[in-house]
């Protein structure tokens, strides 16, 4: 569904656990609508650019610690200001804007304010863990993987998953996930070329 602002831009937020398929969803969106019509806003990328500036490695732990440090030092909505500015820069210019990861109430409120759609992507723990080990997190046990999800930056994720408008399971193949993602895209009625 297109947003209520009437500018031809559809806004979606993705809520999912780590390695559930958020980045794959974004890649599929760019295939469907063309890269020039999709803009992805990633809070991890916003934090990563800050870490790059200080020449601190972009590890999952550093991103989590940096998010907590900024929120505790400058207020919980500090990252939201950058995300909203990037959102505003692209409304009316892009057909689809994806907020890659909704982890906090401030980002959730932003999606609601701009009449966006919250999409939940789910995958079983063991499936996500296998993806994580395949994607460079080798040496981590399933128990360690699950423990990482108890960190402060991940604690609100289940709350937002319960409030999602759309749901996409991702326990199978990429082709199966793409089929499900395309169903969601069709229901969003994003303006086509």
Considering the domain boundaries, does residue 55 fall inside one?
no
Task: Give the whole-angstrom CA distance, residue 147 versus residue 8.
Answer: 41
What's residue 150's pLDDT? 76
DSSP states of 101-144 = ---SHHHHHHHHHTT-EEEEEE--HHHHHHHHHHTT-TT--HHH
Considering the domain boundaries, does residue 76 fall inside one?
no
Say how many domains are in the chain: 1
Kindly indicate the confidence band of residue 3, based on its pLDDT and cuts at 50, 70 and 90: very low
What's residue 162's pLDDT? 78
Considering the domain boundaries, does residue 47 fall inside one?
no
What's residue 2's pLDDT? 42
Given a cut of 60, whether residue 4 has pLDDT beyond it is no
| Domain range for 25 | 10-42+95-188
Percentage of the chain exceeding pLDDT 70: 90
Task: Give the whole-angstrom CA distance, residue 51 versus residue 91.
Answer: 27
Average pLDDT, the chain: 87
> Which pLDDT tens digit goes with each residue over 59-116?
888 998 998 899 899 987 788 888 899 999 999 999 999 998 776 677 888 898 999 9
* Tokens matching residue 30: 């760019």
Task: Give the whole-angstrom CA distance, residue 38 versus residue 42.
Answer: 13
Cβ 20 vs Cβ 181: under 8 Å? no
Considering the domain boundaries, does residue 82 fall inside one?
no
Considering the domain boundaries, does residue 51 fall inside one?
no
What's residue 108's pLDDT? 82
Task: Give the whole-angstrom CA distance, residue 81 versus residue 30.
Answer: 25
Considering the domain boundaries, does residue 184 fall inside one?
yes
Given a cut of 60, whether residue 45 has pLDDT beyond it is yes
Considering the domain boundaries, does residue 150 fall inside one?
yes
Which among 46, 73, 48, 43 is positioned nearest to 156, based on CA atoms? 43
- Which CATH number covers residue 146? 3.40.50.300
Considering the domain boundaries, does residue 48 fall inside one?
no
Model confidence, pTM: 0.84
């Amino acid at each position: 569904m297109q947003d209520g602002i009437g500018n031809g831009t559809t806004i979606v937020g993705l809520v999912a656990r780590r390695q559930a398929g958020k980045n794959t969803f974004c890649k599929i969106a760019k295939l469907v609508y063309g890269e020039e019509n999709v803009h992805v806003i990633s809070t991890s990328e916003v934090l990563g650019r800050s870490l790059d500036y200080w020449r601190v490695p972009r590890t999952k732990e550093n991103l989590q610690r940096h998010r907590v440090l900024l929120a505790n030092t400058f207020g919980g909505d500090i990252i939201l200001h950058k995300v909203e500015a990037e959102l505003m820069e692209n409304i009316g210019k892009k057909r689809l804007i994806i907020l890659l990861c909704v982890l906090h109430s401030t980002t959730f409120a932003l999606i609601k304010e701009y009449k966006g759609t919250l999409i939940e992507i789910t995958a079983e723990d063991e499936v996500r863990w296998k993806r994580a080990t395949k994607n460079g997190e080798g040496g981590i046990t399933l128990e360690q993987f699950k423990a990482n999800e108890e960190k402060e930056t991940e604690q609100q994720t289940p709350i937002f998953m319960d409030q999602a408008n759309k749901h996409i399971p991702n326990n199978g193949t990429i082709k199966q996930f793409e089929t499900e993602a395309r169903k969601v895209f069709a229901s969003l009625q994003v303006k086509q070329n």
